[in-house]
Amino acid sequence: MKQQYRGLTTEEVAVSRSAHGTNVLTPPKHEPVWRKFLRKFSDPLIVILLIAGALSVGISFYEYFVLREGLRVFFEPVGIFMAILLATGLAFIFEYKADKEFSILNQVDDEEPVVVLRDGQWHRIPKCDVVVGDIVKVETGAEIPADGQLLESRSLLVDESTLTGEPVAEKEVVGGRGDVYPSWLLLRGTKVVEGYGVMRVQKVGDATENGKVFTAAQIDDSVKTPLNEQLERLGLLISRISYAIAALVIVGRIANELITEPYEWVHFIAYVLQTIMIAVTLIVVAVPEGLPMAVTLSLAYSMRRMLKANNLVRKMHACETMGAATVICTDKTGTLTQNRMTVAEMWISEEQGARSEEQEENLRSLLYENIAVNSTAELSGDEALGNPTEVALLRWLQEQGEDYKELRRQATIIEQVPFSTERKYMSTTLALPSFLRPDGAQPLRRSILPPRVYIKGAPEIVLAQCTLTPEQEKEVKEKLDEWQSRAMRTLAFACEGTLLAIVAISDPVREDVPAAVRECQRAGIRVVIVTGDTMGTAQEVARQCGVAPSSEQLEGASIASMTDEELRERARDIVIVARARPMDKKRLVEALKARGEVVAVTGDGTNDAPALHAAHVGLSMGDGTAVAKEASDITIIDNSFASIGRAVMWGRSLYKNIQRFLFFQLVVNISALIIALVGAVLGTELPLTVTQILWINIIMDTFAAMALSTLPPSRIVMKEPPRKPTDSIVSRN
C-alpha cells in the first residue's frame, strides 16, 4: 500500500469542523410537547370521561339547587376531573419517557467506529467525528461514513441501494461514470459489499447526498410483536364484555327503579343520567387502557436496561422473542472466545528439510512479505485496526524485528482477492519482484523470484495448491491436528505453489462464558456452536465452554449436501457445525425453525445477513460489520455470549412482568364489574361511587402498570423451561 497521504492534523480537523460542520444529520423537528399532551385528550376513553364529568356537573347542580343538598355533591365532578387530569398527565409522562429512551438508543448509530488517518497514524474514531478532508479506510461490511473521493481501491463493490437502488456498484479510482454517480465517489450510508478502499471526505452531515434525503432512522417499533397482538385481542375481548355488562347495569337499574319508585319525571331523568354515568365509568374501568402503556413502558425500560447489559435492541419484538428462544446458534470467535488472537506457534518450511541457506532466507523473507502485504490490518501504537487474525500476524512480524509498513511501501500490488468466510483465503499479486532483503540491502536474485502471488488462508485450501514431499505432508498434518485439538485457529501461507509456513493462533475462551452456557442450558436452551474454523478447534472450544461435544456434529460441506428433510432430521441434536459457510448457517436456521424451535443466531460478517434475517432473533456483534448490524434485531455490544444469556433473562422477565400486570388488572376489573352488576340488579345504592371507581382505575391502570412493568429481572426465570410461543399470556393458572 502506498501511503502518500498523511491525513489531517489536530488543528486542521478543528478548522475543517468549524468550516464544514460535523458529520451528524439534523433530525427532523419534533412535535411540540404541549401538542403531544393535548393529543392525549382525543383518546376515546378520555372523551367518554369528559362527557361523564359534564353530566356529573349537571347532576350536582340539580342536586344542590333543586334538591337543596349540601356542598358535598360537588365532590364527584371534581373527583372525575382530577382523575382525568391525572390519567392524561401520567400517560403523557410515561409516553414521553419511553420516547426519550428510544431516542437515546437511536443515537448509537453516530458512534459507529470509523478508521481514519490523522497525524500520519490510523485511528478509530466515532462516525460523527469525521470531518471534510479526512482520509478514511473502508473494508468489507463497513458503512461509508461520509461522501468522498476514492483514492485507492481493491475489488471494491458497494451496495448503493439506499440511494440509487444499485445493489452492487463497482467503484474505481479512475473509471467511467456510474449510472447516477461517478464511480470514484463513495456515498454516506452506502455499504461495502466486498473489497477495500481509501477515500478523502468531501462532504459531511447534511451536505451529503444521504443527508439531503434523510428522514430520521427510527428504531423500528411499528411492527406489532406477537405479544402486542395477543394483548390487543385480549383487550378487545375485555372491552366487549364490559360493554355488555354496562348495558346490563343500565337495564337492571332502570328496571329496578321503575318497579320500586313512584314515577316522577325530573327525578327519573336524573336517575337515568346517573345510571349512564355509572355505565360509562364501568367501561372506563374495565377497558385495560393501561395495557398498551404497560407494554410500551416495559419494552422501553427493558431496552434501556438491556443496553446497560450490552444489548442494543434494534427491533422491539426481539426483547420478548428472546425470552422464548429454545436454540441459540453462536459464533465462536469473539463470542465464546476473547478475540484476543496471538500467534502461538509458527512452523516455517525453511526450518525443515535440507535447503541452501539462501533458499531458507528467501522463504522466510517471502513469509514476511506475505504477512505484511497480504493483509489490510494496521498497527498504530497500541491500537490495532482490522481483522484480528491479521493483527495477530502483524504483531508476530513486529516481534521478529520486521516493519510491515516498510514491506508494504516497497511492494506494488496489482491485484488482491480479499478474505471472505466463503473463500477462507486471501491472495495478493505483486507487480514486480520488489523484494528486498530484511536488512534493506540488495534485492535477491530475480531468477528464483518470479512475480509473486501470495496466498494465506485455511490450511486445506492453501495446501491443496502446494507441492509437498510425503514426509512434509505428514509432518504438516500432524502439527495441524495437534494445534486444532488445542482449540487453536490454523492458517497456512504459500507463494507460487511453495508452502511457506503454517501457523497456530490462540484465542482463549472468555472467562464468563462456561457459566453463561451452563445457565442457558439449565434454562432449557440448546447452545449450538457454528464456526468457520475446523472441527478439531470447534470441539475443543465446545469442551472448554461446556457444550457436550459428544452430540451431533456436522461440517458445513455435509450440510450443503443434505436435503432440507435430512437436515431437519439431523438438526434435532446438533451442537457443533464446523467449517460452516454463511449459506450453511442460514439453512441450519431454517431447519431448526421448521422443527418448531425459536431460534436466535449470532453473526458478525456481511455474509451472515441471510442467517440473521432468517432467525427469529438475529444477534449481531458490536465489532461486526454495519451490514450484519442492520440485518439483526439486537446488537451485542461487548460481543460476549454472557450478554446473550442476559438478553434471554430480560426477555423472560419482560413477559413475566406483563403477565403479572395483566393478572392484577383482570382481577380488579372483574371484581369491579361484578360489584357494580350485582348492586344494580339488587337495586341497592351503588356499592362504589363513580369517583371511587375512577380512582381505583387510576391506581391500578397507571401506578400499578408502572410498578409491575418495571420490576427488575430475576435470575429465577432462568430456572424454568422456555415458554411455548403458542401459549396464551393468560394461562390456566
Asked if residue 389 binds ligand ATP (CB under 6 A), the reply is yes
- C-beta separation of 620 from 603 below 8 A: yes
**CB closer to ligand ATP, 114 vs 329:** 329
d(CA 421, CA 624): 13
Structural Rg of the chain based on CA atoms: 34
Q: Supply φ then ψ for residue 490, to 5 degrees.
A: -115, 145
- CB nearer ligand ATP, residue 264 or residue 460: 460
- Mark the segment that binds ligand ATP (CB under 6 A) among 189-197, 433-441, 452-460, 553-561: 452-460
Question: Does 603 participate in binding ligand ATP (rule CB under 6 A)?
Answer: no
Q: Which of 275, 296, 311, 333 binds ligand ATP (CB under 6 A)?
A: 333
Residue of the chain from 191, 203, 424, 587 that contacts ligand ATP (CB under 6 A): 424
One residue of 131, 426, 523, 686 binding ligand ATP per CB under 6 A: 426
390 interacts with ligand ATP by CB under 6 A: yes
Looking only at the bridges linking them, the beta strands covering 147-160 and 166-170 are: antiparallel
Instruction: From 105-113, 313-321, 331-339, 673-681, give the range in contact with ligand ATP by CB under 6 A.
Output: 331-339
Q: Give the residue, chosen from 141, 195, 532, 556, that forms a contact with ligand ATP under the rule CB under 6 A.
A: 532
Residues sharing a CB contact under 8 Å with residue 535, sequence separation 6 or more, in sequence order: 484, 553, 555, 576, 578, 579
| CB-CB neighbours of 545 under 10 Å | 24
By CB under 6 A, the count of residues binding ligand ATP is 20
Tell me the C-alpha distance between 444 and 360, whole Å: 12
385, 535, 518, 655 alpha-carbon torsion, rounded to 10°: 70
148 neighbors 202 (Cβ within 8 angstroms) = yes
The helix (H) or strand (E) run that includes residue 498 is strand 498-506
- Residue at 459: amino acid letter: P
Please pick, from the candidates 102, 181, 419, 483, the single residue that binds ligand ATP as defined by CB under 6 A: 419
Q: Does 586 bind ligand ATP (CB under 6 A)?
A: no
If the CB atoms of residues 137 and 332 are measured against ligand ATP, the closer one turns out to be: 332
Task: Return the residue of 191, 456, 586, 646 that touches ligand ATP, per CB under 6 A.
Answer: 456
Which of residues 531, 625, 657, 691 is near ligand ATP by CB under 6 A? 531
Nearest 10 degrees: CA dihedral of 481, 485, 487, 489? 0
Q: Is 490 helix (H, G, I), strand (E, B) or coil?
A: strand
Among 118, 203, 364, 489, binds ligand ATP (CB under 6 A): 489
* Catalytic residue (choose from 331, 533, 584, 604): 331
In whole angstroms, the minimum distance from the beta carbon of 566 to ligand ATP comes to 23
Overall residue count recorded for the chain in this entry: 733
The residue range among 189-197, 383-391, 589-597, 699-707 that interacts with ligand ATP, by the rule CB under 6 A, is 383-391
Q: Does 533 bind ligand ATP (CB under 6 A)?
A: yes
Q: Which is nearer to ligand ATP, 22 or 420 (CB)?
A: 420
Contact status: 281 vs ligand ATP (CB under 6 A): no
Long-range Cβ pairs for the range 677-685 (8 Å, 24+): 677/245, 677/248, 677/249, 677/252, 680/248, 680/249, 680/252, 680/253, 680/256, 680/278, 681/252, 681/256, 683/252, 683/253, 683/256, 683/257, 683/259, 683/260
Stretch that binds ligand ATP, among 94-102, 300-308, 422-430, 477-485 (CB under 6 A): 422-430
Rule CB under 6 A: is residue 458 a binding residue for ligand ATP?
yes
Residue 310 interacts with ligand ATP (CB under 6 A): yes or no: no
DSSP 8-state assignment for residue 688? S
Asked if 507 is an active-site residue, the reply is no
Segment interacting with ligand ATP, rule: CB under 6 A, options 127-135, 238-246, 283-291, 529-537: 529-537
**Residues recognised as catalytic:** 331
* Residues forming the site for ligand ATP (CB under 6 A): 331-333, 387, 389-390, 419, 421, 424-426, 456-458, 489-491, 531-533
